Amino acid sequence: FYADFHPRKGKQGGAWMTEYQGQWIDKKGENVRPHVSVVMNLTKPTAEKPALLTLGEVETFLHEFGHSLHGMFANTRFESLSGTNVWWDFVELPSQFMENYAVEKDFLRTFAFHYKTGEPLPDELIDRIAKSRNFMVAYGCMRQVSFGLLDMAYYTQSKPFTDDIIPFEKKAWEKAMVLPQLPDTCMTVQFSHIMAGGYAAGYYSYKWAEVLDADAFSVFKKNGIFDKKTAQSFRDNILSKGGTEHPMTLYKRFRGGEPTIDALLERNGIKKKQDC
Ligand SMILES: [Zn+2]
């Protein structure tokens, strides 16, 4: 595992996980281990201050570290099916799953102390951060769904398309529209994810990954966020398997069933939590 945390001259901005070498098992049966890296551009430390991370930076790190775990725990025969080489709508499960830890008190208590006084992050502040994440979340959800519907409407066309795109667009996302569309606007022409961003017919995967990560994390919430047995099962059934089997088969082996949207709705505060 290689960590490249801070910006320097000539380094690309942003954050990502990368593999210098994937995992595979060679002809002699030797398990060739992966070389995985998390690249970030975190605020640099200065002479007076250590590198104090923003919540966003912590979340980004957890996200990329989730991808890294997928790479590092890989244990499959072929490199092309190893680690993060999974179906498009499954690749963000390990990364988004890890983001859940960012507002978990038991996790924050392991490292989030004031750099001068050593005081832990107050519970009340953590609760407020968790709550603020749900600001406008239902509207954001419907917006994501509407984009997914529009993307799918284009990619399920079977004949050459010559109609007016404005009414086409309106009809495509009608079911998920919360507010009336502004006149003379058209999302399609500026929606690069659909036409050129590589997401063709896969835009829904953003929301789908949230369904998966919330559902998976709900098992940890129930058993304890550091529960070894649950973590081992997540590793054995999902993280180590790469793309060797259908994602739903892997997921069901971990979860004992298909995911539902309940955990996501509960996390978002849209649905009341069940007592269990
Ligand atoms: Zn990601």
Judge whether 263 and 214 are in contact, CB under 8 Å.
yes
DSSP state, 237?
Answer: I
Q: 111 alpha carbon to ligand 1 midpoint, in Å?
A: 24
CATH number for position 94 = 3.40.390.10
Q: What percent of the chain has pLDDT over 70?
A: 99
Measured CA to CA in angstroms, residue 153 lies from 10, 156, 167 at distances of 41, 5, 12
Task: From the candidates 19, 30, 48, 64, give the one annotated as an active-site residue.
Answer: 64
Residue where one domain finishes, among candidates 106, 132, 158: 132
Same domain, 24 and 152: no
User: What pLDDT score does 274 carry?
Assistant: 67
Residues 107 and 204 in one domain: no
Is the domain of 30 the same as that of 77?
yes
Cβ atoms < 10 Å from Cβ of 200: 14
64 is catalytic: yes
Instruction: Give the CATH number, domain containing residue 183.
Output: 1.10.1370.10
The CA 106 to ligand 1 mean position distance, Å, reads: 24
Q: Ligand 1 centroid vs 48 CA: distance in angstroms?
A: 33
pLDDT given at position 275: 57
pLDDT at residue 276 is higher than 70: no
Residues 6 or more apart whose CB falls under 8 angstroms from that of 58 comprise: 102
Count of structural domains within the chain: 2
Q: Longest Cα pair distance anywhere in the chain, in angstroms?
A: 66
What pLDDT is recorded for position 192?
78
DSSP letter assigned to residue 113: B
The mean pLDDT value of the chain amounts to 93
Identify whether residues 181 and 252 lie together within a single domain: yes
pLDDT tens digit string along 17-34?
Answer: 999 999 999 999 999 999
Q: Residue 24 phi/psi, 5° resolution?
A: -160, 170
Q: How far, in Å, is the centroid of ligand 1 from the Cα of 180? A: 32
Domain boundary among 84, 110, 132: 132
* Domain span holding position 181: 134-276
